[in-house]
C-alpha cells in the first residue's frame, strides 16, 4: 500500500507539473513577443539607424498625450512643454464643455519624462495594424513629440499597435505620476476590453469616435 500511494502521488505531481508547463508555454506564446520587444536590448536594436531627437539633451520639446474612446469617462489630452508648462483638457461624455487646467511642472519631473521617452525608444516605433485580432473598446492612446522640425505621433487603438506598446504605456504612467498631481482625468481609459480574432478592421473600431 505504501508503494502504491507513493506511485499515485508521483503521478499526481507529474500531472500538475505538466499542466503548469502547458500554461507556461501558452503564456509565452501570447505574451513572450511583447516582453522581448520591451527588453532593453530590443529597444536599443530598434533605434539603430533611426534618426530621432534625444529629449534629455535639452532641446525644447512638446509632448502631447491623449486618450479617447466610448467605453470610458470621456476624452482627455495633456500638452506638456519642456519649459514646465502643462495644460490638461478633459471632457466627459455627459459634459457640455471641456475642463481646462494649467500646471507648472518642476524641472526634475520634466527630466524624468524626457528620460523615459529616450530610454523606451518610443520615437523609434511605428504604428501598424494588429495581426489577426482587434481589441474591442480599447479606445485610442496617442503620444506626439515635437521638437524643432521633428514631429512624430505613435498610437495604440483597437486595430493598431506598436512592436513595443509597453513603451507608450510607460510614458503614460510617468505622466500620471507627475508632481504636483494632475487632475484624475489624466488616468482615464477604457472600462473594459476584449481581444477577438479579426482579419479586417472596420472604421468604427478605430477608437477615434
Helix/strand/coil for 42: helix
> Which of 3-7, 117-121, 178-182, 204-208 shows the lowest per-residue confidence on average (mean pLDDT)?
204-208
- Residue ranges covered by each domain of the chain: 2-37, 55-205
Q: What is the pLDDT of residue 209?
A: 41
The sheet carrying 150-156 orders its strands as 99-104, 85-92, 74-81, 62-68, 140-147, 150-156
Q: What is the pLDDT of residue 125?
A: 95
Q: How confident is the model at residue 193 (pLDDT cuts 50, 70, 90)?
A: confident
Average pLDDT, the chain: 84
User: Above 80 in pLDDT, residue 82?
Assistant: yes
Mean pLDDT in residue range 54-72: 94
Mean pLDDT in residue range 15-28: 45
Q: How confident is the model at residue 203 (pLDDT cuts 50, 70, 90)?
A: low
CATH of domain 55-205: 3.30.1560
Burial of 118: CB neighbours in 10 Å, binned 0-12, 13-18, 19+: middle
Is there a contact between 199 and 127 (Cβ–Cβ < 8 Å)? no
User: Is 0.85 surpassed by the pTM of this model?
Assistant: no
Amino acid at each position: 500500500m505504501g508503494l502504491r500511494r507513493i506511485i499515485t502521488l508521483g503521478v499526481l505531481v507529474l500531472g500538475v507539473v505538466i499542466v503548469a508547463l502547458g500554461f507556461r508555454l501558452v503564456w509565452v506564446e501570447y505574451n513572450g513577443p511583447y516582453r522581448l520587444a520591451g527588453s532593453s536590448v530590443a529597444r536599443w536594436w530598434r533605434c539603430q539607424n533611426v534618426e530621432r531627437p534625444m529629449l534629455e539633451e535639452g532641446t525644447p520639446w512638446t509632448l502631447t498625450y491623449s486618450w479617447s474612446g466610448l467605453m470610458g469617462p470621456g476624452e482627455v489630452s495633456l500638452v506638456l512643454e519642456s519649459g514646465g508648462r502643462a495644460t490638461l483638457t478633459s471632457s466627459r461624455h455627459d459634459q457640455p464643455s471641456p475642463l481646462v487646467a494649467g500646471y507648472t511642472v518642476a524641472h526634475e519631473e520634466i527630466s524624468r519624462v524626457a528620460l523615459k521617452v529616450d530610454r523606451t525608444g518610443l520615437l523609434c516605433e511605428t504604428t501598424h495594424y494588429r495581426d489577426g485580432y482587434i481589441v474591442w473598446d480599447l479606445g485610442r492612446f496617442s503620444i506626439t513629440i515635437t521638437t524643432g522640425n521633428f514631429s512624430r505621433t505613435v498610437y495604440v487603438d483597437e486595430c493598431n499597435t506598436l512592436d513595443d506598446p509597453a513603451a507608450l504605456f510607460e510614458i503614460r504612467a510617468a505622466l500620471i505620476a507627475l508632481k504636483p498631481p494632475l487632475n484624475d482625468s489624466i488616468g482615464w481609459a477604457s472600462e473594459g476590453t476584449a481581444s477577438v480574432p479579426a482579419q479586417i478592421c472596420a472604421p468604427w473600431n478605430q477608437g477615434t469616435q
